[in-house]
């Protein structure tokens, strides 16, 4: 049975830790990321997009639904409204009909109309490439901003979604639950250049093996470094049945 490494717990401090994380924790965290990278060599954003505007919109739409559903809607949505200017002037009923399959269609339509209008009014219809600017846009928080920065602008960022938060706590990288504190605590363990791919590796693992209710511990490639080993079935055969070959995309 894989044995959990004995390491000092991650610092519970927030954006500016009083002391740097322990060397053993840094080494273990980076080893886990390397193995996840080898396990998921194709890890990437599972939302389809052609440009920063599309990625911004589909990321906003992905809240409380699956990437697969958003990807199905995307061609129709951007076929009708390819630019922020076009979307800002969209007929509300027509836009609601397109995003309807994603749930919460009225709220999501309102978000898209306000977001597109803000891009036109504040940024001449261009998606800004700075975190401080992105988070001022309607419906855009740090998670969405980091997705856009990392995948559309090649600016390193950590995407703290539900999968990422769950796994980094299971891995013992941090005990924080606030997404911003998680982002800073985990960021301190890795070089900035690795942040975007780290996010993909962890999220892919969370979608495929390290599930919320029943993780497939017996099929986990990083089980030997995981303090939470045993939360799910450890028998390889039983665990294998839980593995998804694709995420909830």
The set of catalytic residues is: 143, 161
Residue 6's nearest CA partner among 18, 22, 17 is: 22
Cβ contacts of residue 248 below 8 Å, gap of 6+?
Answer: 66, 67, 68, 207
What does the radius of gyration of the chain's CA atoms come to, in whole angstroms?
Answer: 19
DSSP labels, 104-151: -HHHHHHHHHHHHHHHHHHHTT----SHHHHTTSTT--HHHHHHHHHH
As a whole number of Å, the end-to-end CA separation of the chain is: 31
Q: Which three-class secondary structure state does DSSP give residue 160?
A: coil
Q: DSSP assignment of 164-219, as one string?
A: HHHHHHHTTS----SHHHHHHHHHTTS-GGGHHHHHHHHHHHHHHTS-SSS--GGG
52 contacts 233 by C-beta, under 8 angstroms: no
* Calpha distance 225→241 (Å, rounded): 22
Burial of 94 (C-beta count, 10 Å sphere; 0-12/13-18/19+): exposed
């Amino acid at each position: 049975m894989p044995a959990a490494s004995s390491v000092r717990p991650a610092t519970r401090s927030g954006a500016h830790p009083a002391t740097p994380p322990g060397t053993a924790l840094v080494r273990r965290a980076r080893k886990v990321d390397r193995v996840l990278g080898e396990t998921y060599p194709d890890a990437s954003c599972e939302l389809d997009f052609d440009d920063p505007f599309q990625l911004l919109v589909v990321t906003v739409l992905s809240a409380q639904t699956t990437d697969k559903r958003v990807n199905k809607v995307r061609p129709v949505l951007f076929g009708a409204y390819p630019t922020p200017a076009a979307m800002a002037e969209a007929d509300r009923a027509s836009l609601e009909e397109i995003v309807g399959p994603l749930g919460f269609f009225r709220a999501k339509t309102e978000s898209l109309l306000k977001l597109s209008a803000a891009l036109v009014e504040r940024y001449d219809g261009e998606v800004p490439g700075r975190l401080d600017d992105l988070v001022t846009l309607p419906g855009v928080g740090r998670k969405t901003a980091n997705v856009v920065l990392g995948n559309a602008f090649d600016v390193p960022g950590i995407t703290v979604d539900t999968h990422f938060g769950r796994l980094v706590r299971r891995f013992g990288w941090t005990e924080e639950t606030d997404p911003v504190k998680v982002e800073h605590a985990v960021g301190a363990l890795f070089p900035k250049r690795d942040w975007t791919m780290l996010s993909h590796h962890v999220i892919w693992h969370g979608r495929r093996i390290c599930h919320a209710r029943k993780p497939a511990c017996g099929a986990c490639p990083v089980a030997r470094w995981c303090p939470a080993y045993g939360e799910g079935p450890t028998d390889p055969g039983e665990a294998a049945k839980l593995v998804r070959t694709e995420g909830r995309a």
